[in-house]
Amino acid sequence: MAEQRQRREHAAALQAHDRAVREADRAQREYERAVAAADRAATHAQNVARTEALKAHQRAQREYAESLTAQALEAFEEVDSILAATLAVDDYVDIDALKQTASHPPFPREDLKKPTPQPRLEKPPAEPAFVPPPPPTGMAKVFGKKAHAEATSAAHAAWQAEHQAWSHYVQRVLPAKNAELLKQHAAAEKHRGEMLTTALAKYRRECDERERQVAQTNAGLDTFKKAFQSGDADALVQYVGLILSNSAYPEIFQVDFEYEFDPELGELTAAVIVPPPSAVPKIKAFKYVPASDEIRETACTQKEQKDRYNGAVAAVAIRTFHEVFEGDREGRIKTISLTVQAETSNPATGLADTFPFVAAAADRHEFIRYDLRNVDPSQTLELMHAAVSKNAFALKPISTARGIR
């Protein structure tokens, strides 16, 4: 029976051990499944985040490419409308409108105009009052008279000491403290007044200088206007400079001028310097390619570049004629002889060179009849018998051996 009981207990122990092992294995498997699920969830979240980030990046790149394309097309439109852009503008320059009026900034030290706040003077404390000890009552009236008299004497002595200290503070210390506060206030107020005087003097000097400069400028304009109205040739040249300086060209196609006037012939001779073909952008579109994560460029065709540049050169010539004739309301400029040219390195020599593309002359009475809203500048130059480069884009110059006429 003992052996059987021992075997039963051993078997039960084995069963309990097996159950514990199975439970441990099950718990381990559940733990591993939980860890794997968490890893899958984290991986999924990371994948979702990466996907969203990639989409946002691609969207930003696509929008960036579209903005670059819009900027390129806008720049090309500005070049293509060089002539049209000036037709809605009155090129006359009113000399009186150039006069200035002095503009003065506000006085920078308004804070100095505020008086220094008055100091807060200390008031004297209340005068200490003598408070005798309470009179004795009961049996103390008979047996405590001496003690009461001594207490009264001690209280009176203490009061005298306190009153003497109070009197010293009120008559000597306090007046000195308040006098020092008033002295400091007076010094601060004096310093403020001195700084205000200095600042106002400086401000007035600066205002006077601005007024002087404006008066000098306006006097110069009056002198210039009188000379211009009297027909002075130099004044007319300066006036032409005002007209041309007001001419706003596209940022990518800036133009410069050189000119002189012959008062006997009433002729303005001008050289218009345009940018070389290499200065004009050649990319017309930008496209984002997600597969390679790059922005690819689409260049204008050779024909598009050639037509745009040649058209711009012709438009500059017609625009210059128009602006000068329209700005000169008095009609002093009868004719204009004009050359449009670019200054850049010669591809044949590598040296700096000048390439004339257009040589034309215009008579005021003939030119102002043209309706420039409906013209092709190249055909207008052909009508004017101008010498025009067959391909300015390729830096093919015209022959100037015979002159403009």
pLDDT digits over 185-232, tens only?
999 999 999 999 999 999 999 999 999 999 999 999 999 999 999 989
pLDDT at 133: 85
pTM equals 0.69
Per-residue pLDDT of the chain (405 residues; tens, 9 = 90+): 667 777 777 777 778 777 877 887 887 888 888 888 888 888 888 888 888 888 888 899 999 999 999 999 999 999 999 999 999 999 999 999 999 999 999 999 999 999 999 999 999 999 999 888 888 777 666 566 778 888 889 989 999 999 999 999 999 999 999 999 999 999 999 999 999 999 999 999 999 999 999 999 999 999 999 999 998 999 999 999 999 999 999 999 999 999 999 999 999 999 999 999 999 999 999 999 999 999 999 999 999 999 999 999 999 999 999 999 999 999 999 999 999 999 999 999 999 999 999 999 999 999 999 999 999 999 999 999 999 999 999 999 998 765 555
**Separation between Cα atoms, residue 65 and residue 143, nearest integer Å:** 114
pLDDT in the model for residue 323: 97
171-175-176-178 Cα dihedral, nearest 10 degrees:
160
In percent, the amount of the chain with pLDDT more than 90 equals: 72
**Residue 12 is encoded by which pair of tokens?**
């039960």
**Rounded (to 5) percent helix, strand, coil in the chain:** 60, 15, 30
* H helix runs in 328-369, sequence order: 364-367
CA 98 to CA 221: how far, in whole Å? 8
On whether the CB atoms of residues 359 and 387 are closer than 8 A, the answer is yes
Residue with tokens 């105009």: 113
Residue type, 299: A
Contact status, residue 328 vs residue 320, Cβ threshold 8 Å: no
Say if CB 319 and CB 250 are below 8 A apart: no
Measured between alpha carbons, how far is 115 from 167 in angstroms, rounded to an integer?
35
Q: Is residue 340 a contact partner of residue 311, using CB atoms and an 8 Å limit?
A: no
**Residue whose tokens read 């007035």:** 204
Residue type, 291: A
pLDDT of residue 8: 77
Euclidean distance between CA atoms 4 and 47, whole angstroms: 63
Q: Which helix (H) or strand (E) holds 288?
A: strand 283-289
Can you give the pLDDT at residue 401?
64
Q: Read off the pLDDT of residues 125-138 as tens digits, 9 standing for 90 and up.
A: 999 998 888 887 77
Query: For the chain, what is the mean pLDDT?
Result: 90
Beta carbons of 196 and 108 less than 8 angstroms apart: no
Strand-strand pairing, 352-363 and 335-345 = antiparallel
Q: Round to whole Å and give the CA distance between 146 and 127.
A: 29
Please report the DSSP string for 14-74 in residue order: HHHHHHHHHHHHHHHHHHHHHHHHHHHHHHHHHHHHHHHHHHHHHHHHHHHHHHHHHHHHH
Torsion of CA 220, 218, 100, 234, to 10 degrees: -30
Q: Report the 10 Å Cβ neighbour count for 116.
A: 15
3-state secondary structure of 268: strand
Euclidean distance between CA atoms 91 and 85, whole angstroms: 12
